[in-house]
Amino acid sequence: MPSSTSENMLQWLHTMDLDVNIFDTDCFGVMWHGAYTKWMEMGRVQLFESQGIFLSKPGDREGYIYPVVEQNFKYKSAAPYGDKLTMTTRLAIEGYKLLFYQTFRSHNTDKITVEAVTTVVVVDADWKLQRRLPDLLAQTLGI
């Protein structure tokens, strides 16, 4: 899993609380590993939106698309049905890649349940990879 360094980590921070619902659990009554992905996407989108960056809508020829190209998880402890988790999302820049560092922490045990890093790139409406962050995005990111 890539490690973050203070030189590439932005000061942006987004937290959100979520309930471990029955539809997010497996046959053992704990948060199913695949359910984390949905919550992580919500955290990334909400972090962006809190900074004034909005995802393009289908057919938007002027905007950019942010596809996931890599995702790494470290499962540390179980989150049982009925638990409440706090997800923290931070963003780091590595060249033209955006790395989202996300941590889930249980309210019941105060233990980290999952640590994850998601790598996202920027493509234009024609799916052309942007090997340099677009100017408006770079300005918003403060780089």
Tell me the C-alpha distance between 133 and 129, whole Å: 10
Beta bridge partners of 121: none
Question: Which spans in the chain are helix H?
Answer: 35-50, 135-141
69: nearest Cα among 95, 50, 88: 95
Q: Are 78 and 31 in contact, with CB atoms under 8 Å apart?
A: yes
pLDDT at 137: 87
Task: List the chain pLDDT tens, one digit each, 143 residues.
Answer: 656 555 578 888 999 999 999 999 999 999 999 999 999 999 999 999 998 888 877 777 778 899 999 999 999 999 999 999 999 999 999 999 999 999 999 999 999 999 999 999 999 888 999 999 998 888 888 88
- Quote the tokens at residue 58: 């289908």
pLDDT at 63: 83
Give the pTM.
0.90
The domain segmentation of the chain, as residue ranges, is: 9-141
Distance of CA 58 to the CA centre of its chain: 21
pLDDT at 131: 95
- Quote the tokens at residue 84: 């409440």
| Burial of 45 from C-beta contacts in 10 A (0-12 / 13-18 / 19+) | middle
Is the domain 9-141 a CATH 3.20.20.70 member? no
Q: Are 71 and 118 in contact, with CB atoms under 8 Å apart?
A: yes
Q: Are 90 and 10 in contact, with CB atoms under 8 Å apart?
A: yes
Which helix (DSSP H) or strand (DSSP E) does residue 66 occupy? none
